[in-house]
Amino acid sequence: MRTIDNSNSPITTHIVKGLILSAFSIVFSVVMYVFNLFEYSWLNWVSTAVVMGGIIYGNILYANQNNNNVTFGNLFAHGFKTTAVLIVITTAYAVLSFKVLFPDMIDMILEISRKKMLENPKMTDEMIEQAMSMTKKFFVPFAIGGTILGTGFTGAIASLIGAGVAKKNTIDPFSNPAS
């Protein structure tokens, strides 16, 4: 079996990985906006799956670049730092897109929500109008909170999986005692 010596290869930082995943998320969001694909909620799951896969792969890559001399905690921390970069950038993009780039996006999303509420026979017109009024009023704060919590939760799960599946060399903490 041939082994690969990664001792001279640079380690890809969590910042680079977070920037790459953020770029994917932003491009995906722009494509959804341009082609008006908000009604297809399954597309959000595609984006989530790609981000999770990216974080898991990032942890595996980090372990390999460190010759697998890492611990579960090191890998989880690396994955969650990648998630933190992703959260900061995607949250900033969300605010920018709702307020500056695509201000009509809020109305498009609200209209989709209205259509879904109309399909529910238990909701009266008054209930729908009240819900739409509240949603419009607090849309941006809810979107920011949803981005932070959703991405944080997804990133934490992906970091746990990535830390679990990445190969780690067993390290005996008592083999090299400190003097």
Q: Is residue 52 part of a domain?
A: yes
Is 67 inside any structural domain? yes
Q: Is residue 45 in some structural domain? A: yes
Residues 71, 76: Cα–Cα separation, whole Å: 9
Mean pLDDT check: name the lowest of 21-25, 55-59, 74-78, 168-172. 168-172
- Domain assignment present for residue 5? The answer is no
The whole model's pTM is what? 0.82
Which range is least confidently modeled, 54-63, 129-138, 141-150? Answer: 129-138
Residues 6+ apart with CB under 8 A from 158: 51, 52, 53, 54, 55, 56, 79, 83
Whether residue 93 lies inside any domain: the answer is yes
Residue 3 covered by a domain: no
Q: Report residue 162 as tokens.
A: 């990535």
Query: What does the chain come to in residues?
Result: 179
Digit-coded pLDDT (tens) for 96-125? 998 898 888 888 888 888 888 888 888 888
Instruction: Compute φ and ψ for 11, nearest 5 degrees.
Output: -90, 125
The structural domain count of the chain equals 1
The answer to whether residue 7 sits within a structural domain is no
Contact 32, 43 (CB under 8 A): yes
Determine the Cα–Cα distance for residues 62 and 74; give it in Å rounded to an integer: 9
Q: What is the pLDDT of residues 30-57, one digit of tens each?
A: 998 888 887 787 888 999 999 999 999 9
The answer to the question of residue 60 being in a domain is yes
**Is residue 65 scored above 90 in pLDDT?**
yes
Domain range spanning residue 95?
14-101+144-165
